[in-house]
């Protein structure tokens, strides 16, 4: 039987299943482009004329960071980003440190985008950009985002971001093009620069950290979708190239024309003054004053910018919800924080809690404050991500990597990725710089991390769980469901039907909670039934082999979503499927067989005859009857509910354990 890596490579050459590269690029682009709407003013306030160079350095840092996240996400396709990288490279404590820092970042990002969206809406009504109306509208946006995510943000809604991303990209390129024609003058941008004095080195350093954080915003949330992405290796490379080009062109280009439109005078620029909370509105207002152009552009930038920022807030809340769910199922935070709403299956406690915190954070109405704290958490998690990918090159050297960071050198028997090393050093240095130069980030960030570590250690100890080992709970526990019985070994025969996922999920719930190294094992089995007309070792058609590979790879992916459970896969050849299942269960000494039965028949004579009346005792079919009658261990049947919609009417079935 092929090992896991071979199955994954041969069964499906993609990273997985639901979202394609256009939808993923749209999700990534909304957070990338929205960062310009809120970060440009704060960076310009500190870096002054050096702002374009600061964003150019940030673009280089982005390239280093995106390479790390793409390799890490393709290596372990689980939700969570740097938390997953750290789990496999180090241990559960470091995974928690990265995740806890990211929780702070998501809350801050929701507050930043909602607050900034309100200021761009001020293009239509001035009072929205100041005082009580500013705070009230920002809180209303946060409430709307929370409600949408509690209801459930579907993949189809994410795909709608593609149109918004295209419109915004066209608008920003238009703003850059008009700026180069109407206002750009290199002397206005570069002549006021006097490094060390105007701006000071401290200001440049802080601006660099803000720009770096802005450029890499969204990498965590997009890598957290790794398990649901359908994208080829070539598609990955195109995505990396497209986002890199977007960062360089948009960030550096807009910074240059912005400083030409609102130049530095006397050590200050309007970008960091009255226009700091909505800098692009100030920029386009300087294009051809006295004509209709500034008004048209203000309405366009205000409307599109507000929509994009709300979409970015949605993306941040989505990332927070998925991260909270992951932390809760891994017992890194109390399961209550990841509790799912029964009707929508969304982590309502985490979403509502984040909305309340974000609403409080918009009240000071200070982007400088929020961005400093945001940078603290993001650079910390990125430092851990870079270090993790380097370590995984040595811990998992033979694991298939759909994307591999270029520029590696052999060090100590392994291939060390130099871009990840440089990215880690820069991220670590930036994190230390934020602590040194930004007092609010130092105070809030360190208190947040200290409180999180105390919560984590206390929670693990009170639950009698190890601090450094992985401990998971079944996903069903977050809905309040509990299974009465736990099993250490479960045999799950696969039949290549839609019920395969259901029986694997049933087996995962029956496995119960287990610690790393002591987890339950699900034995996923595919039986090739060989007719008597052929020898038992006859060559099989490639279509049957491919069906088995895909079913087993899918079973492993679904079963190991429970993350405390290991799924082993195997194939056997037999004359009768039922007898093979019974024999394998005895040989493997499993505790229970979880089997998909045929749906109950509604005609007399079962599925074979044609009369009417109650079902006969053979409605489950030969395989199920053989297993139930001959197995020496317990057998649990999973089947569609008796009142399920018939298959021939196009209805959707709802499998239920029996």
168-177 pLDDT, tens per residue? 889 999 999 9
pTM recorded for the entire structure = 0.71
* CA–CA distance, 25 with 120 (Å, rounded to integer): 24
What pLDDT, in 10s, does the model give residues 41-50?
A: 899 888 888 8
pLDDT at res. 307: 93
Residue 497: count of CB within 10 angstroms of its CB:
12
Which of 642, 648, 635 is CA-nearest to residue 594?
635
pLDDT band at 21 (very low <50, low <70, confident <90, very high): low
* CA–CA distance, 348 with 336 (Å, rounded to integer): 10
pLDDT at res. 394: 93
pLDDT, mean of residues 87-113: 94
What pLDDT, in 10s, does the model give residues 474-532?
A: 665 566 554 444 566 888 888 777 778 778 888 887 775 444 445 578 888 988 888 77
What is the dihedral angle through the alpha carbons of 20, 26, 31, 36, rounded to the nearest 10 degrees? 150
* CA–CA distance, 381 with 218 (Å, rounded to integer): 13
- Asked if 309 and 323 count as a contact pair (C-beta separation under 8 A), the reply is no
Which of 279-288, 379-388, 460-469 is predicted with the least confidence, judged by mean pLDDT? 460-469
pLDDT at res. 155: 58
* CA–CA distance, 504 with 598 (Å, rounded to integer): 16
Q: Is 503 helix (H, G, I), strand (E, B) or coil?
A: helix
Buried b (16+ CB within 10 A) or exposed e, 634-651: ebbbbbbeeebeeeeeee
For tokens 């007898």, the residue is: 579
pLDDT at res. 18: 44
pLDDT, mean of residues 107-119: 95
Distances (CA, A) of 638 to 66, 95, 285, 310, 550: 43, 36, 65, 43, 21
For the chain, the average pLDDT equals: 80
pLDDT band at 351 (very low <50, low <70, confident <90, very high): very high
* CA–CA distance, 36 with 21 (Å, rounded to integer): 23
* CA–CA distance, 157 with 167 (Å, rounded to integer): 16
Residue 290: count of CB within 10 angstroms of its CB:
6
pLDDT band at 298 (very low <50, low <70, confident <90, very high): very high
Q: Is the alpha carbon torsion for 372, 374, 375, 381 positive or negative?
A: positive
* CA–CA distance, 408 with 386 (Å, rounded to integer): 14
* CA–CA distance, 472 with 327 (Å, rounded to integer): 9
pLDDT band at 144 (very low <50, low <70, confident <90, very high): very high
pLDDT at res. 419: 94
């Amino acid at each position: 039987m092929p090992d896991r890596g071979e199955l994954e490579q041969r069964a499906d050459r993609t990273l997985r299943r639901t979202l394609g590269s256009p939808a993923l690029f749209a999700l990534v682009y909304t957070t990338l482009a929205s960062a310009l709407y809120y970060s440009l003013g704060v960076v310009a306030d500190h870096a002054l004329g050096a702002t374009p160079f600061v964003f150019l350095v940030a673009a280089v840092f982005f390239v280093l960071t995106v390479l790390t996240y793409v390799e890490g996400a393709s290596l372990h396709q689980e939700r969570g980003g740097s938390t997953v990288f750290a789990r496999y490279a180090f241990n559960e404590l470091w995974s928690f440190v990265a995740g806890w820092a990211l929780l702070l970042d998501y809350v801050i990002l929701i507050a930043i985008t909602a607050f900034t969206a309100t200021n761009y809406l001020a293009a239509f009504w001035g009072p929205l950009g100041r005082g009580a109306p500013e705070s009230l509208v920002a809180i209303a946006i946060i409430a709307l985002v929370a409600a949408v995510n509690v209801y459930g943000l579907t993949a189809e809604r994410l795909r709608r971001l593609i149109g918004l991303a295209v419109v915004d990209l066209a608008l920003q390129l238009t703003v850059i093009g008009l700026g180069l024609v109407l206002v750009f003058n290199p002397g206005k941008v570069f002549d006021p620069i006097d490094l060390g004095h105007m701006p000071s080195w401290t200001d440049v350093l802080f601006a660099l950290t803000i720009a770096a954080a802005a450029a890499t915003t969204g990498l965590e949330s997009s890598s957290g979708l790794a398990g649901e992405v359908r994208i080829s290796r070539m598609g990955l490379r195109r995505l990396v190239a497209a986002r890199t080009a977007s960062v360089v062109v948009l960030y550096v280009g807009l910074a240059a024309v912005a400083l030409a439109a609102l130049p530095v005078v006397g050590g200050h620029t309007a970008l960091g003054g009255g226009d700091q909370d909505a800098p692009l509105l100030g920029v386009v207002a300087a294009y051809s004053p006295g004509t209709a152009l500034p008004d048209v552009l203000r309405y366009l930038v205000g409307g599109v910018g507000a929509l994009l920022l709300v979409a970015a807030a949605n993306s941040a809340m989505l990332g927070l919800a998925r991260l909270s769910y992951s932390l809760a199922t891994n017992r890194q935070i109390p399961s209550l924080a990841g509790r799912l709403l029964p009707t929508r299956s969304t982590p309502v406690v985490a979403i509502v809690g984040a909305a309340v915190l974000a609403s409080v954070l918009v009240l000071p109405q200070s982007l400088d404050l929020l961005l400093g704290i945001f940078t603290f958490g993001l650079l910390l998690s990125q430092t851990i991500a870079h270090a993790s990918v380097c370590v995984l090159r040595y811990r998992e050297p033979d694991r298939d990597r759909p994307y591999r960071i270029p520029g590696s050198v052999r060090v100590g028997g392994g291939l060390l990725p130099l871009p990840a090393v440089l990215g880690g050093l820069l991220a670590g240095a930036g994190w230390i710089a934020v602590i040194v130069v930004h007092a609010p980030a130092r105070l809030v960030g360190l208190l947040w991390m200290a409180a999180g570590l105390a919560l984590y250690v206390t929670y693990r100890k009170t639950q009698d769980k190890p601090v450094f080992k992985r401990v998971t709970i079944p996903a069903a526990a977050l809905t309040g469901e509990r299974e009465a019985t736990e099993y250490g070994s479960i045999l799950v025969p696969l039949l290549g039907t839609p019920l395969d996922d259901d029986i694997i999920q049933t087996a995962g719930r029956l496995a119960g909670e287990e610690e790393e190294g002591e987890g339950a094992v699900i034995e996923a089995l595919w039986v090739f039934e060989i007719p008597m007309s052929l020898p038992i070792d006859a060559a099989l058609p490639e279509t049957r082999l491919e069906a088995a590979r895909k079913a087993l790879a899918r079973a492993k992916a679904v079963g190991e979503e429970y993350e405390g459970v290991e799924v082993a896969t195997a194939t056997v050849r037999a004359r009768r499927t039922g007898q093979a299942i019974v024999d394998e269960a005895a040989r493997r000494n499993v505790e229970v067989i979880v089997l998909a039965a045929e749906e109950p028949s509604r005609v007399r004579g079962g599925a074979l005859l044609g009369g009417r009346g109650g079902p006969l005792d053979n409605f489950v079919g030969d395989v199920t009857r053989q297993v139930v009658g001959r197995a020496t261990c317990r057998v649990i049947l999973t089947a569609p509910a008796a009142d399920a919609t018939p298959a021939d009417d196009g209805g959707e079935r709802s499998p239920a354990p029996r």
